[in-house]
Amino acid sequence: MLRDDTTAQLAADEKFFEETKSAAETKAQEWSTRTRLRTEELAGMEGAIKILTEGDKVFEEATTTFLQVKAAQTHQSKSYEHLKALAAKYQTSSLAKLVTVMKSGGHFDKVFIEIDKMMEILRKEEQSDIEHRDRCENGQNANANEMDDVNANIEKTKDNIERLERSKKAAQEEKEAVEAEIKESDENLAKMLKIRNEDHAEFQRAMKMDAQAIDLISQAIVRLSKYYKENKIPLSLAQAPEYENDPDKAPETTFSGSGSRQGESGGIVAILEMIKEDLQKEIKEGKADEAKAQAEYEKQSGALSDARAAQKETRVSLEKEIAGLSENVADAEAHKRDKAADLEAEKKMEQSLKTDCKWVEDHFDKRRDARKKEMDGLVEAKNFLAGVESGTPVLGPA
């Protein structure tokens, strides 16, 4: 939206610039032509008035179509002479034109109409000059204000870009720290899983070995007990040999019968049974320890996985924040470029306004003074002619 508004504003400003430039060039050309023609007209009138003034005696003596100056002058001839004097005094083109009208026999009414027309033209010219001056002053003031606003906007945008860049850098650093935490969490999870797998493999191996040992012991017990069970001979614990009671007395050497070794066999079976029970107990305790170790692993790995998931969410959030900040920086940079273009356009407008309004500095006051002088002469001429027409002329200084 901001880009579209700025583009539209730029197009409007460029159009305004071209129209102003064209108007300024046209006005400058018109002013140059008007100034040259007025200068030439004034110079011609001044030369003609000088010639006519210096040739008064010739005109008095000559019998031509010019107005005859007689001893008894009429109101018309007096008015003509007075207008000649006013034309010489004010040296304006309008009075010179009135002299020509009077000279060609124009009546006072016609002269009054001409004076009114001239006054109207001069008033319109004055209003046009004032409007041009005001337009220039307003344009220059608006241009200066716009340039100040654009410069302030550019500086504000620069500060905003710096702030965004700092925020982006901080977010990137935070993201890097979170990524390091995620990496560490992954490594810890891998280590925990490796240790758990190793412990579980050791547990399975121990269970397998214990089961095999139990199976072997069970087979041994069956084998040892088979003879006695088949012959229904009870097993009992083996008696300690006599020399264990009397170390100085040697055992007797005798041959035993079929059941003479049943005591020793019974003791071995009992020991094997105890070993088997121990192994079975060990298997049971091993399974309990394994279950406990698995539960502890799942608890720790679950907590670490949750932490890693939170870290990843933080990373995603930071990535979105960084992307948003990057987009904001890009928008701010584009806005700054647009404002820089606006500033260049305003600088061109400033130069155009200087060219268009230079005549205000060079000619406005001169034109105003010349116009006032011309209007004063016309007013004096009209007052004089009005007095002559009413029979009570008021002669101003020649």
Crossing angle, helix 262-359 and helix 108-230, to 10 degrees?
A: 170
**What pLDDT does residue 54 have?**
60
CB-CB neighbours of 195 under 10 Å: 12
**What pLDDT does residue 197 have?**
94
**What pLDDT does residue 304 have?**
92
Residue ranges with strand state E in the chain: none
| Sole residue written with tokens 């089961």 | 211
Rounded-to-integer distance, Cα 16 and Cα 349, Å: 9
Query: pTM here?
Result: 0.47
Residue 383 · residue 394 · CB < 8 Å: yes
- CATH for 166-240+259-339 is 1.10.287.620
Domain segments of the chain as ranges: 24-163+352-390, 166-240+259-339
Rounded-to-integer distance, Cα 239 and Cα 201, Å: 44
DSSP run (H or E) holding 265: helix 262-359
**What pLDDT does residue 389 have?**
53
Torsion of CA 153, 155, 158, 162, to 10 degrees: -120
**What pLDDT does residue 67 have?**
40
pLDDT tens, residue order, the chain (398 aa): 667 767 777 777 677 667 676 767 776 677 677 666 666 656 655 655 566 566 555 545 544 444 444 433 455 555 556 555 655 565 566 556 656 665 555 555 666 677 777 777 778 878 888 887 888 888 888 888 988 998 999 999 999 999 999 999 999 999 999 999 999 999 999 999 999 999 999 999 999 998 999 999 888 888 888 766 777 766 554 333 444 445 454 444 443 444 444 444 457 788 888 998 998 999 999 999 999 999 999 999 999 999 999 999 999 999 999 999 999 999 999 999 998 998 898 888 888 888 777 777 777 777 777 777 777 776 776 676 666 555 454 444 43
**What pLDDT does residue 134 have?**
81
**What pLDDT does residue 120 have?**
79
Residue 103 · residue 79 · CB < 8 Å: no
**What pLDDT does residue 238 have?**
38
**What pLDDT does residue 29 have?**
76
Q: What CA–CA distances, in Å, run from 58 to 63, 70, 103?
A: 10, 13, 16
**What pLDDT does residue 80 have?**
57
